[in-house]
Structures are given as structure tokens and as C-alpha cells.
Structure 1
Amino acid sequence: MLKHENLKLPDLVNTFMVYLEEIGYAKSTRKRLLAYYKVLIKYAKSNNIDYYSLDVGKTFLLTHHHHQWEETGKLTTSQNYLQRHIQILFEFQMYGEITTKKRLKRKYAVSYFEELIAQYLDYEIGRNLKKVTISGKRYCLYYFFEHIESLGIHSPHSITSKAVYSFLKAKTHFSVATKEYYQYILRDLFRYLHKENLCREELLELFSIISVHSKNSYPSYFSAEDISKVLQCIDTDYSIGKRDYLILLLASQLGLRVSDICSIKLDNIDFINHTLKFQQTKTGEFLALPLSDELLYALIDYLKNARPPCDSQVILIKSRAPIEPYNTTFYGMLQKYFALANIKISDNQKHGLHSFRSSLASGMLKNGTSMSVIANVLGHKYRETTRSYIKIDIPGLRKAALEVPYDFNR
């Protein structure tokens, strides 16, 4: 992309406004940004500043808004917007484009174990683990080693069982499931360290048995009536409604994971045979599913009347700039329709989009569908995963329960 380092600030702002229009930013957003940058231009002129830089932007924030630039830490919404305005103008000046809007990532205070983390993650990458798995491990390990270093421990040989347990004990805000997830992460780490002779023997014995909270709980699901109420609340006269209706049909009729809903492409659709064929994001397994007339119509309606113009082959595209595929859970969207449909969410009931996947399995079980068919529809790589859904068919379990024989000779 063309850099704009040689443009004076007023020309830089004007060029930036043209760029924002080209990538699809709304007129109201451009108008708001322009008003902000006019104040910046006025500030620069009063201080005899011709050219923009990140330092100029930071000084403007401090002088005009009394806000000290923060590289780390949690920002309020207003602070995040202020820094975002300064940051994107600098990005455009230096690189000719801007990055997707996001909050600044927290930096962890890890010095002594950074190289060890990198070595371990390289080892895991060599095992062909998925990027999302590696990313999760990286986050957990930085969080863990930040605590370890806070205890004054600077070598893996100095890590004790007591130090490990103190980490889990200190995280009182963690749910039971999250603590179990960390135990799996740490167990894999300690096995690697032991193999490389980098830790004490006692760490290898930690978490040999992990009580799996998730397998002791029931998958959350909603009845067919509840899902029907949710779908009926969607106003498909508007483009957002067309998008939401398509998303919820993909989740409720096909049981797709959110990652797959966000990544399916135009060439995954066989319009002639009414079939969706794709490689699952989570497992990498190929899956082919039939499309109902209702789902096919919703798909065509979205593509023709609601999808923003975009070069991407991905079907679902953001309606607001930057115009690109989604990377979200659609949680807020679903909660809006639960409220409109007056669906009551019970305590501890999960109610994200994944619950529609469980709901599909529940409905199939109640209709007598075999476990092998359900596994194929849901795209489960292992049958053990599908068996967890047996828990939600309570009436079926009662019918299958054997009567305990009574000993009349007692």
C-alpha cells in the first residue's frame, strides 16, 4: 500500500477520508472522524506542526483530552475510541491502510520464561495442533508464568507443586471448567519439561486424574417450540434480519459450529443438489449436509438482498466497515431474540449459539435417530463426543432403564 509520510496533516486527513469511503465506512462515521481531526489540525496549526506523527497524536490526547496514552491495561470505551482515532490515522500514514478495530492486548510481565514458552509452543506446533489450540495454550502459559515469576521463581527447576497450586488457588474468579482447562494445559507442559529434564519429578505427578466438570454436566438445549419462537421474532424485511435468520437456521437445522458458520464459502454450496459441503474448522473433517428449502431460500435471499458487495468468497460478511468476514460468536444477537421471544433462561443454562447444536441433537434423539446418524450430522470425529448428548434425552433414558429385580425369597 502507498505510504503517506510526506503529506502535511490537512492533506493526510483528506486522503484518509477518501480511503475510509472506499473501504465502506458509513458517511456518519466519516463525518464524526473528520470533525475530530479538524480539532487535531487546529491544535497542530497553533503549535506550528505541519506533519503528523504518533507522538503528535499522543501529545494532543494529553493536552486536549487530559488522557495519557496507555500501551497496556484496561481502557474505558471512551479512552479506547480516543486512542483508536489517533492510532488509525498513524497506521494510514505509515502503511496506507488500517487494522481491524480492537482493544489493545494486555502485555504479560514474563521475562525469564519467555524463551521456554516459545520452545514449548514450537514443540506443540510440530504435533500439528490447530492455530486456535496453540493460541489458547499461549494465553494460559503467559498467565501461569506471570504468577510464577511474581513468586520470585526464575527457573523451571525451581517450580514446585506448591507454586502451581498457589496459581490455581489465587484465581478465585476462574470457573470450575476453566480451572480444569488450565490443569490439562499444565499437565501437557510438565510432561514436556520432564521429557527435556527441565523440571522436578513431582510436577509430572500433578493432575494425573482430572475431574472433568463438562462431562458431568448436561448439554444445554432448547425445545423446537422455543427455537421456532426465536425465528418468528426475526424481521426479515431488513438486511440485518435476513442475515440473522440465515445464521440461526444454519445453527438450528444443521447444527453448525459458529466457526463453520463464519467460514463457509460460496463454493461450499451445491445449489443444484441442495447440499452444503465443507471442511470443518475444528476437526478438519469433511462434511456434507442437505439444505432444506427454507434454508436454501434464506441463503439466496441474503446473498441477493442483504450481503454487502465484497470480493471475499465467504458467505457471511459484516454489514459495517471494515467489510470483511465475521469473527464472532453472535452471542449478543441471539440474546436479543431470546428476549423478544420471551424465552426464559434457567440458572446455569448455557444460551449461546452452540446450544442450538445441542438442541438439534436432542430433537433427533427424541425422534429415535441412531447415535451414528447424529454423529455424522454433527460432524463428530469421535463417537464418545456424541454419547454425551444421550444425557439430554431423559425420557428416552427412562424408557431404556431396566427394572431392578426384586428377590421374593428374602
Structure 2
Amino acid sequence: MTQKQLLRRDIIKICKKECLRYKLSSNYTSMLLQGGRSLVKFMQEKNANDYTPDVGLEFRIYVHGIRTKKYADEISRVIDMLNSFIDSKLFVFQKQTPKYFPGIFGQYVVEYIEYLKTETNLKMSSIKIYEHSLSMFSQKMHHAGVDLETISLEHLLNFFSSLQNMKQENVKNVKNFLRYMKDHGIIKHDLLLDYIRPTRYIKEKVPSYYAKEEVLQIENSVNRHSTKGKRDYAMLLLASRLGLRSADIRNLKFSDIDWDRNEIHIRQIKTQKEVILPLLDDVGVSLIDYIRNARPQTSLKEIFVSFTPPYRVITSATFSTMVAKYVFKSGIKCDGKHHGSHTLRHSLATNLLGSNVSVPTISSILGHSTTESTKKYLTINLSSLLNCSHDVPSVEDNFYKQEGGVFYV
């Protein structure tokens, strides 16, 4: 099949037309247009006038080399849309971003993955993790111009240190792959793999949070008179007032709400723990307003859905982007802080702790499996930490002046 010609100057125009054609949400459209503008700038710097899948792959590798994986994956979706356009194929906008294995290492990664599938007893879920780790590895090596003869321990250490989280499986998977290469004579020199030790994944030491007044300011930034605002406001309150996780909000069903008892009954997706929460007045009113006056007529069991057909459950990226939009719109200071939906959950826990609510009670509200998960919020509540402090005992002056002692002057 002959591919359509796509010039650099037409990329943004085609992106807009395709987004309208597929009736994509405003958030998804903004993300794709941002990717399109980055692609145009990349092509200008490369003096490339015609778009081809090879140019798209080069752009994808470039973006993953300079940005976080999540951001790079998002704006790289424009490549999938443009490839679908020039091949006259439908753009499947909700599929997972495919893995890419470029360069000389990518060739052997494909061979190694096939070896894992046919010669080992690994589960497919484990092989998927290998694909993820080695996709990042082959992209980084290709972007850095590293080949079989020049790869060294320094390259490996630089790669692992560039990862957002140096997870143990990433180190293990890459080391196993390189041992496979060494055992088969593909890499002939010693990479000193035994010197590479994975570090434990350490979560953010100080979770981002906002004060009560700031959270209220975020909520008030929503236009509750608009159709979209009614939905967004209800979702925000479920995060800020009840501390529900993004997945539990997005997958909330009509059957989860007991209107007679004013309760929400859910089984948390992350922990599979059953939680019963009070349906606060403000939350209940916002839900009713959205369901009666804004929600599209659809047979979906989930409460929160998109506004354009085909109707679908709100995605994680859409919800996170929506929360960030209202955080910025509210005008509060958020420099150096996270601004996704989970920050509202952190804020609720921190503000409850500041109101002298006990850790077990907060743990119950958030649906934590143990209070150990809740205790991390103590790291950002200085007043609670001060309550745990002890007075420093006084020391006589002659202790410091004693002859022969370590403090002797």
C-alpha cells in the first residue's frame, strides 16, 4: 500500500483534523498537539521536510532520551496517529504504547525475548517486564551511539542512574541480558557486571500536599455551571474530601453508592480491601448534579465517563491532567510540588493529622492495609513530630572543661 505524503508544514493541521475526526477529548487533543509541535521542532533541527515512520521512530527515541518515560510516552502518541494517517489505517488511541528496540542492541533484545519465551519457564507477565526494561536500555544505548565493542561499565552505570527509579528488576533484567550476550560470544569483553548492585526503590521522602485553604481554592476554580465542570467537581471532591485513589474514583459504579445510608462501598483496586466511607453532603450533591444534569446517556456501569462518543471510562491520564489544570488555574503556589490527583489524597491525610486525628483513623479513611503506610505523612507534619520530641537534658559546664576529655580545650 502506498503511503500518503506528509510534509512538515502540514503536521499540526493534520493533527487537528485527526483529533476532530476521532472526537478526542480536549485533554487528549492538547497532548497530541504538544507532541506534534515538538515533532515539527525536531524535524526543523534535522532539516527533515517529509515525515516518515523512520523520522517518527527517531523522534520517539530522542524524546525518551531527554524526558521522563511517562511524558515521552504521552507526546510520542502523535507518532502512532501520524503513522496511522499516512498508512490509511484507524488510529487506536487507547492502546498501550508499543515497545521499541532500536539499534544493534535492539536486534539482540528481540532475539533474547524470543529465547525467554521458548527456552524458559518465565510467565508472560515477567517477560513483559523484561521487554519494558530492555526497551529503555536499547533506546538509551542507540541514542548514545554505544555499540557492542564500545559498551562499558560506565555506560551501564550512567543508564541506571538516568532511570527515574533504579528498580531492582531493571538492573537484574539488563544484567541477565548482557550475560546472555557474553555467554553467546556476542560481547567479548568483561563488563564487570558483578560490580553493579541495585538500590532499593525509595519513595518520595516528603509527599507533596496542600493546606486546607489551598485545597478549597482548587475546588472553587471549577466552573460548576458547565457540563464538564459538574463532572470534574464531583471527581475532585471524591479525592479531596474522601481521599479516594484515582483508580477507585474513575471506576466508581452506581452500585457502589448506598443512597439510603449515605455511604460509599468499594473494594479498592490497589489493595483489594473493602472500604465504607460516608457520603458527605457536598460530595453527594455534586454527584447528583453531575448524574442528573451532565452525564451522557450510556449503559456503562461506571459513573464518570467521557462526553464524546464512543463513551468510555475516564482514563488515568485524563483525570491526572484535569486535576493539574485546576491546580494551576487556582493560582496557588505549587512550585516544587506534585499536582496530580494523588496529591489531594496526601493533602487530606496531612490536614487530618494536623487536626489531631489519630493515625489509625486516618489509615481507616484512606483504606491502608497497615498504619505503616499512613505514617509516611508524619514526615510533613512538623507540629505532630514536635509533640513526640523530648527535652534535651542539661549538662554541667565542667563536663566540657574536664582535662583529658574529648571536649578539653
Residues 268 and 276, structure 1, Cα contact 8 Å, conserved in 2? yes
- Residue 179 of structure 2 is aligned to residue 186 of structure 1: no
Q: Which amino acid aligns with 1:246?
A: A
1:251 to partner: Cα distance: 0.7
1 CA distance for matches of 2:115 and 2:391?
56
1 CA distance for matches of 2:84 and 2:177?
41
Q: Which residue of the partner structure matches residue 308 of structure 1?
A: 296
Q: Which amino acid aligns with 2:100?
A: K
- Residue 206 of structure 2 is aligned to residue 207 of structure 1: no
Residues 277 and 289, structure 1, Cα contact 8 Å, conserved in 2? yes
- Residue 334 of structure 2 is aligned to residue 345 of structure 1: yes
Q: Which residue of the partner structure matches residue 74 of structure 1?
A: 59
- Residue 153 of structure 2 is aligned to residue 143 of structure 1: no
Question: What are structure 2's unaligned runs of at least 5 residues?
Answer: 1-17, 25-48, 61-75, 184-189, 400-409
Q: Which residue of the partner structure matches residue 43 of structure 1?
A: none
Change (3 A) 1:260 1:186: same
Deviations 1:132-165 (A, max 9, x none): xx866642332124556874459xxxx9755531
Q: Which residue of the partner structure matches residue 231 of structure 1?
A: 219
- For 2:101, which of 101, 108, 117 is the aligned residue? 108
Deviations 1:79-114 (A, max 9, x none): 876555556x634xxxxxx63367974622222233
1:72 to partner: Cα distance: 2.9
Q: Which residue of the partner structure matches residue 90 of structure 1?
A: 89
Structure 2 counterpart SS, 1:287: strand
2 CA distance for matches of 1:116 and 1:213?
30
Change (3 A) 1:135 1:325: farther
1 CA distance for matches of 2:369 and 2:363?
8
Q: Which residue of the partner structure matches residue 392 of structure 1?
A: 380
Q: Which residue of the partner structure matches residue 249 of structure 2?
A: 261
2 CA distance for matches of 1:165 and 1:398?
40
TM-score (norm 1): 0.65
For 1:293-332, what aligned pairs fall within 5 Å after superposition?
Answer: 293-329=281-317, 330-332=319-321
2 CA distance for matches of 1:257 and 1:25?
28
- Residue 157 of structure 2 is aligned to residue 165 of structure 1: yes
Structure 2 counterpart SS, 1:112: helix
The alignment of Structure 1 onto Structure 2 pairs a total of residues equal to: 325
Question: What are structure 1's unaligned runs of at least 5 residues?
Answer: 1-19, 27-64, 92-97
Change (3 A) 1:137 1:323: farther
Residues 248 and 269, structure 2, Cα contact 8 Å, conserved in 1? yes
Calculate percent identity across the aligned residue pairs: 24
Alpha-carbon RMSD: 4.1
1:370 to partner: Cα distance: 1.8
- Residue 373 of structure 2 is aligned to residue 381 of structure 1: no
Structure 2 counterpart SS, 1:111: helix
Residues 100 and 322, structure 1, Cα contact 8 Å, conserved in 2? no
1:248 to partner: Cα distance: 0.8
1:407 to partner: Cα distance: 2.5
